Amino acid sequence: MKIIRWLVIVVYFSVAVMPLAWLAITSFKLKEDTISPTAKFIPVASKIESPDGSDTSVLFTASTDAYRRLGAVNIGSDYSFFHYLANSLIIGALSALSAVGLGTACAYGFSRFRIAGAKDWLFFILSTRFLPPLAVVVPVFMMYRQFNLQNTHVGLILLYTSFNLSLSVWLMKGFIDDIPRAYEDAALVDGYSRLQAFWRIIVPHAATGMAVTAVFCLISALNEYGFAMALNSSRAVTVPVYFAGLQGNISGVPWPQVAAGALVFVVPVAVFTVLVRKHLLRGVTFGTIKQ
Amino acid sequence: MSFLQLQQLKKTFADGTEAVKGVDLSIDEGEFIVLLGPSGCGKTTTLRMVAGLEAPSDGRVIIAGQDVTRLRPAQRDVGFVFQFYALYPHMTVEQNIAFTLESTGAARRECRERVADVSRVMGLGALLRRYPRQLSGGDQQRVALARAVVRRPKVYLMDEPLGTLDADKRLEMREFIRSRQQEMKVTTIYVTHDQEEAMSLADRVVVMHEGMICQAGPPTEVYDDPASLFVARFVGSPGMNFIPGSVVADDGQRFFVPHQSQARMPLGRDVRPGPVTLGVRPEYVYPSSDGPIAGSVVMDEYQGNFRSIHIDTGFAHNLVMRAGDADARAVGESIRLSFNAEHTRFFDGNTGQRL
């Protein structure tokens, strides 16, 4: 039984990690090795060319060239990778922060006060998630053109904040429901106002929940492609749109750079996710687990 | 004028539950009041309305001559001890106690001194740097008390503060609370469902049932002169014995006749004839070969210095007799019981009110 369990874990792990591993390997290749018909996966310091010119070796020359070239501006782009990375991080972080901030305030209201039709409101909030985002691309596009929000960071921050708000409200409501009311009652009797009690009692207790929610919002903002593409052509373009744009590159897709960039993009989020994994699981159960 | 007044206090919750149905209570300064009643009787809701944690549906709360009904808890100057302590888990003991002082804007130095003072009184000196989760239940409760008293509020409110403690700790804390209260002479309202706790702590016990006050008075009065069947049964362990029957008048004399019985007990005092329930405390029931009540022993509870003998007399409830620790009884033994008329109490057979 134990062996089977381990086997399952190992197999699953390999499958899951494969794309990431391949991404890492590719990022250290030279471009010609990435498009070779033979899959190359063993890095060597320098490769010996085969005499007849045919290339069936699984060896490739390890190089950090792709990482060095991340700072360069590719043909057909206006900026280097780092500009787009900064765009993604700024938009992702600010939209996650606003979604969590607004979501926490809203969830606190739903959790602690009697609100007429609270269940219907909550369902309404959740129902904004049911709509396929594609359905609103055109109206959003028109609105953004009207308000000159195209090609702006603010435009995407607003959009992602509103997308993530429903998730944030629901997750935070679960977390806040789990905080005993007695702590706030105590703070009220101890001479604090409702708002002060919120800041000094609820926020410290909901901090892990807020971090978890922020991670979910951040990931979803970083991954978003459709709207980012539809609403931007240059300045506020995010990493996914930038990579996709490289497809049409006149000198061919610079795969090692794409891989290197993707890795730089993904690793911090992955590491952070692993760090808070215990709380993430609490998050997705919507606070239904009581101690 | 009394220090704390509750006037026609009512609370109806949004779901229609009438938790408190009009409570009137006047409390003197320095008095230790215990609200006693079974769970759901409205005692905690009443307490929370005094604190301002629950808004009354109707009625007024007056503290020290000021109508505080519409004031926030912070503006009422009350200290509250919660059933589950509600210590802030992310703060040390010291921070927990100082938290309420900070709200008043007291200087850091003064905070330190006040915290140090109260910790000494409460015996918390060694624990100031610990977090609540590192403390035992008794110590947590001590911190909760310290937090409630450090600001020297006008009124202390305690919501079953000892309910979650072990029996031995509970006795210790009971003593502790009583002696601190007497030293500090602060008006206190204490909520509990434990009648023994109520009797030992209170200057005045207020028995509540179904959102109303049944009786308010010193422990001895509540015990000896219960105002209703409910109070008589709820106070005392075990509670009062009840024998349904009726009072008959015969030749200018009044007699009590138990249901389905030929026995006649002379009362020696004036009780209006009609259906009644006779109440008598277990300690006043004694075996007597010509007693008016007959029954058989169903249980003999040995309780150390005394025994509670449960006797089936054919009425709805078994009769309980308190007997000496050496006075063991065999189950099934037939027994006749008697009691003195002076220790009997009579309740209206229909309303349950004291006659």
Instruction: Give B239-248 pLDDT, tens digit per residue.
Output: 899 988 888 8
Domain with CATH 3.40.50.300 in chain B: 4-233
Query: What's the whole-model pTM score?
Result: 0.79
- B295-314 pLDDT per residue, tens: 899 999 888 888 999 999 88
Q: Give B354's DSSP letter.
A: B
| First vs last C-alpha separation in chain B | 31
Residues of B numbered 119-158 whose beta carbons fall under 8 angstroms of chain A's beta carbons: which are they? 147, 151
Out of A191, A201, A204, whose CB is closest to B100?
A191
* CATH code assigned to B4-233: 3.40.50.300
ipTM metric: 0.82
* CATH code assigned to A71-284: 1.10.3720.10
Cβ-Cβ contacts under 8 Å, A187 against chain B: 88, 99
A199 contacts chain B (CB < 8 A): no
Pairing of strands B4-12, B58-63: antiparallel
B17 contacts chain A (CB < 8 A): no
Residue A5, pLDDT score: 94
- Is the model's pLDDT at A289 over the cut of 60? no
How many helices (H) and strands (E) are present in chain B, helices listed first? 8, 20
- What confidence tier does B228 reach under pLDDT thresholds 50, 70, 90? very high
Angle between helices B108-122 and B93-103 (to 10 degrees): 130
Residues of A numbered 172-191 whose beta carbons fall under 8 angstroms of chain B's beta carbons: which are they? 180, 182-183, 185-191
- Once rounded to an integer, what is the mean pLDDT over residues A27-55? 77
Dig out the tokens for A21 from the structure: 């591993």
Top residue of B44, B54, B103, B140 to mutate, by most chain A CBs within 10 Å, is: B103
Are residues A189 and B72, on separate chains, in Cβ contact within 8 Å?
no
The rounded percent of chain A whose pLDDT value lies above 70 is 93
Are residues A182 and B82, on separate chains, in Cβ contact within 8 Å?
yes
In chain A, where are the structural domains located?
A: 2-68, 71-284
Are residues B99 and A187, on separate chains, in Cβ contact within 8 Å?
yes
Q: How far apart are CA B270 and CA B188, in angstroms?
A: 40
Q: What's domain B238-348's architecture?
A: Beta Barrel (2.40)
Cα angle A171, A172, A174 (rounded to 5 degrees) comes to: 70
Cβ-Cβ contacts under 8 Å, B52 against chain A: 188-189
How many contacts (CB atoms, under 8 Å) link A and B?
A: 58
- What confidence tier does A53 reach under pLDDT thresholds 50, 70, 90? low
Nearest-CA neighbor of B158 among B136, B134, B181, B132? Answer: B181
Cα angle B228, B234, B238 (rounded to 5 degrees) comes to: 120
More confident residue, A267 or A95: A95
Domain with CATH 2.40.50.140 in chain B: 238-348
- Once rounded to an integer, what is the mean pLDDT over residues A55-81? 82
Nearest-CA neighbor of B147 among B54, B85, B76, B64? Answer: B85
- A113-149 pLDDT per residue, tens: 888 898 999 999 988 888 888 888 899 999 999 999 9
Are residues A188 and B84, on separate chains, in Cβ contact within 8 Å?
no
Chain B residue with minimum CA distance to A203: B90
- A187-216 pLDDT per residue, tens: 999 989 999 999 999 999 898 889 889 988
- A163-191 pLDDT per residue, tens: 999 999 999 998 899 888 889 999 999 98
- What confidence tier does A287 reach under pLDDT thresholds 50, 70, 90? very low
Top residue of A190, A196, A201 to mutate, by most chain B CBs within 10 Å, is: A190
Angle between helices A2-27 and A255-275 (to 10 degrees): 140
Residue A291, pLDDT score: 37
